[in-house]
Amino acid sequence: MTTPIQTAAMLAIGDELLSGRTKDKNIGHLADLLTVAGIDLKEVRIVSDDEDAIVEALNALRAKYTYVFTSGGIGPTHDDITADAVSKAFGVPCLHDHDAMKLLGDMYAGRGLPFTEARQRMARMPQGSRHIPNPVSTAPGFIIGNVHVMAGVPQVFQAMVAHVVSELPVGQRVISRAIACPFGEGDIGTALGVIQKAHPQTSIGSYPHFDGIRFSTELIVRARDQALVDAAAADVDLMIEAIRSDKQAALSRDLGTGEVA
């Protein structure tokens, strides 16, 4: 029985991500979680706090992928417009949710703080949404259709996304094996291309690293079947050994020539 492959996109919302003021930490976190859950993150977009930009990106992504996850723009200030934009994208009114009003009202009453108009903004969500619980600071995220709307503050995003991903059906995980390769991509590229062609059901990624002096590479073999990963990885190991032997032979030859001269 094959599990259908589930895909996902992320939409990170916020001027601060595009001005450089804030360096995003949520994309990488979501990517890690989805990889563990066997859900393929296929695309990420970052847009500003602009209603048209959010609506356009959201409608493109939700039509194309199984799930969409958003971060940012659900706080109490004037630049928090995600709830309005998501409502507009779905063509439903954005309302003060009854349960969210009670949750927040009780929380502020318990802390002796006024439940201001600004704070009430955090209870607004598209009509028909379900809550995403927020164990950090109470104000809930929400789910409408295949879109999961979460806070941008990393601690809150992480708490929300842990809950959300735990409730999704687990996909068939991609199995991966990482192979450290001491040679740069120029040394391995041709052979690696041949190996990739010989193992079409795997995906072999090559990730160069530069230490300031020379390049090395991390090679990652991925597939949804262990035997496929093992077979391709064995060929990659052989390739690395062959290049090492070639280089040692060339070195011996050069040293040999040196002694004769």
Q: 52 to 71, contacts with a copy of itself by CB under 8 A?
A: 53, 57
Helix (H/G/I), strand (E/B), else coil: 154: helix
| Residue closer to a copy of itself, measured from CB, 49 or 84 | 49
Q: Pick between residue 92 and residue 119 the one whose CB is nearest to a copy of itself.
A: 119
Task: Looking at residues 36 to 55 of the shown chain, list those that interact with a copy of itself (rule: CB under 8 A).
Answer: 40-49, 53
CB 51 within 8 A of CB 84: yes
Alpha helices in 3-152, H assignment, sequence order? 15-19, 26-37, 51-64, 82-90, 98-110, 117-121
Footprint of a copy of itself on 75-134 (CB under 8 A):
75-80, 108, 113, 116-119, 121-122
Cβ-count burial 2-30 (b if 16+ within 10 Å, e if not): eeeebbbbbbbbbebbeeeeeebebbebb
Tokens of 46: 């970052």
- Write down the least CB distance from residue 97 to a copy of itself, Å: 17
Q: Which stretch binds a copy of itself (CB under 8 A): 161-169, 182-190, 225-233, 237-245?
A: 182-190
Per CB under 8 A, does 258 bind a copy of itself? no
SS3 label, residue 44? strand
Q: Which CB atom, from 91 or from 212, has the smaller least distance to a copy of itself?
A: 212
Q: What is the distance, to the nearest Å, from the Cα of residue 237 to the centroid of all Cα atoms in its chain?
A: 29
* Residue number with CB closer to a copy of itself (39 or 144): 39
Site for a copy of itself in 146-175 (CB under 8 A): 153, 155-156, 174
Q: Which positions from 184 through 203 interact with a copy of itself, judged by CB under 8 A?
A: 185-190, 192-193, 196-197, 203
Residue placing its CB nearer to a copy of itself in the complex, 48 or 172: 48
> In whole angstroms, how close is the CB of 128 to a copy of itself at the nearest point?
25
**Coil, helix or strand at residue 22:** coil
Enumerate residues 6+ apart whose C-beta is below 8 A from 247.
183
